[in-house]
Each structure stands twice: as C-alpha cells, then as structure tokens.
Amino acid sequence: ELTGFDLLNLLEDYGLKILACLFPKEQKTFSCFHPGLNAPVFFLNSVNSSEEKSVSLAYELGYQIFKKEETPSNNLFPASEKDPLEEACERFASCFLIPEKKLKKTLEQTGLHPRLIDYDLLLHLKKRFVVPAKLFILRLWELELISKKQNDLFLSLLKPEEPSFTEPLPSAISLNENQRLKELILISGKNDSHTEEVRLLEAKLKALGVVELVNCLHQA
C-alpha cells in the first residue's frame, strides 16, 4: 500500500526518473518527458520540505498523465478561475497521496471518532502520509470526516501568511532522494576504467545542483 515514506522509491520502481536539485526557493518542481528514456523526469527542489516535495511530485505526476490527453472541458469542473488541467492535477495529488481507504483506516486506529480529533493529533496523523497539514485538513473535510467547525478551526490555526502548503511545524521526515542515481554512480566507481567518466559526471551533477552525490562518491 502506498505510503509517503517510500514514494520516491515506489515511483522509480515503475521507471520514473526523479532528481532532487538545489534551486532557488521560489523555483517550483517541474517535469518533462524524456524521449530517449521513454519516461517522465521529475526535478524536485531540495530546498523544500519533504511534505512540499511529495505534493509537488504528485502534482507533476498528474500533469504527465493528463497532459497527454485533451485538456478536460470546463463543464467537468466547478466554476473557477483555475485552469481545468491545474485543478485536475491538484485533485489527483490529493487522492494519490491521501487515499480514502487508508485515511479512514488511519483514523480508525486512533480509537476516536473523527469529530473528536484535535489539532495536535491531526498534525501527528498527517505525518503518516508525508503531506502538509493544509492538504490533510482539506482531504478530511472533502470526505466529510470532520465537521465544518473543525475544518474552520484547524485552518485558522495555520499561519495565514504562509503559502498554501507550507508545513506549520519543522518536519523530521526525510525522503530518500537521488537513491537510484547514487547506486548507479557507486557501481560505476567500482570499475577503474570508468574513473574519468565518473569524475566528469560528478562535476556535471555538482554544477547542476544535484544534491548529496559528492559525499556518496568519496565514500565508495
């Protein structure tokens, strides 16, 4: 069953390519389809929290799925200033990261009725999905698992000046970034005939801001 902790490895197991790079904070995650690899490539901003990366990755995954088809007509979505494709990607990210069945099971495990959940418990529960608090609250409200009073209270406790999906508390959760790339480099480094190629690759990746690879190479 999908959990946020293995999200990167899970997607890479299915052939997706994911790189965490050092971008300016304002630079959003982006993706593209690489014809040579015959797979989408996702670039995560390593500056962002794990929760922000999860949402960005799921959003970009939705984009790669939906953009190959015709953009849905506006009558499929509620009246909004947002682009229908953008709304579809946001909806996909919410359902993908917080599946209804798993969410309800998580709530059942507390032994409490959802209407008795308070803000502190909510912040602990949402860590199981590695998602921002706001997205978790909105998903609970969407599935009618919390009352309007709870929804309004929880949202009011988030700092209003923060961006939509910024984490309200420091996160201790980390994702296994660039894991497949590290493994490939370590394997290449074992072959003496590849020493020069590995050195050039190290310099190239460092210039591109791909994180946590230099230490990996020196430990090989």
Q: Which ranges in 77-194 belong to alpha helices (H)? A: 84-97, 100-109, 119-125, 133-142, 148-157, 179-189
Rounded Cα distance, 176 and 10, in Å? 11
Among 14-18, 24-28, 122-126, the least confident range: 24-28
pLDDT of residue 103: 93
> How are strands ordered across the β-sheet holding 39-45?
17-21, 39-45, 30-34
Q: For the chain, give the percent of residues with pLDDT over 70.
A: 68
Residue range 156-196, pLDDT digits in tens? 888 654 545 555 554 555 566 666 666 666 666 666 666 77
Residue 127's SS3 state is: helix
pLDDT of residue 23: 81
64 burial (CB, 10 Å; 0-12 / 13-18 / 19+) is middle
Contact 39, 64 (CB under 8 A): no
Rounded (5°) CA angle 189-193-194: 45
Name residue 181's amino acid. L
**What is the pTM assigned to this prediction?**
0.70
Our measurement of the distance from residue 194's CA atom to the centroid of its chain's CA atoms, rounded to an integer in Å, reads: 34
Whether the pLDDT of residue 44 is over 90: the answer is: no
**Structural element, H or E, at residue 42:** strand 39-45
